[in-house]
Amino acid sequence: MSHRIAVVGAGVIGLSIAHELAAAGSDVTVLTDAEPLETTSAVAGAVWFPYAAEHSPAVDAMLGASLRRFRAVADDPDAGVDIRSGIIIERTPTPDRAWTAWAEASPADPSELPAGATGMRTRVPLATMSQYLPWLQAQCEALGARIERRVVDDVDALARDFDTAVVAAGARGGELLGDDDTVVPIRGQVVRVANPGFWEFRIDDDAPGGLAYVLPRRDCLVLGGTHEAGQTSLEPDPEIEAAIIERCTALVPAIAGQPILSRAVGLRPGRERLRIEEVPGRALRVIAAYGHGGSGMTLSWGTAERVTSLVSPR
pLDDT in tens, 116-145: 999 999 999 999 999 999 999 999 999 999
pLDDT tens digits in sequence order for the chain, 314 residues long: 468 999 999 999 999 999 999 999 999 999 999 999 999 999 999 999 998 778 889 999 999 999 999 999 999 999 999 999 999 999 999 999 999 999 999 999 999 999 999 999 999 999 999 999 999 999 999 999 999 999 999 999 999 999 999 999 999 999 999 999 999 999 999 999 999 999 999 999 999 999 999 999 999 999 999 999 999 999 999 999 999 999 999 999 999 999 999 999 999 999 999 999 999 999 999 999 999 999 999 999 999 999 999 997 55
The upper half-sphere exposure of residue 258, i.e. CA atoms within 13 Å in the direction of its Cβ, equals: 23
Write down how long the chain is.
314
CA–CA distance, 227 with 101 (Å, rounded to integer): 26
The CATH code of domain 4-311 reads: 3.30.9.10
Nearest partner of 209 among 255, 254, 240, 253, judged by Cα: 240
How far apart (Å, rounded) are the C-alpha atoms in residues 214 and 203? 7
CA triple 306-309-311, angle to 5 deg:
110
Alpha carbon distance 235, 220 (integer Å): 21
Q: Does the pTM of the predicted model rise above 0.85?
A: yes
pLDDT one-digit tens code per residue, 206-244:
999 999 999 999 999 999 999 999 999 999 999 999 999
**Rounded CA separation 259/250 (Å):** 17
Distance between CA atoms of residues 19 and 241, nearest Å: 35
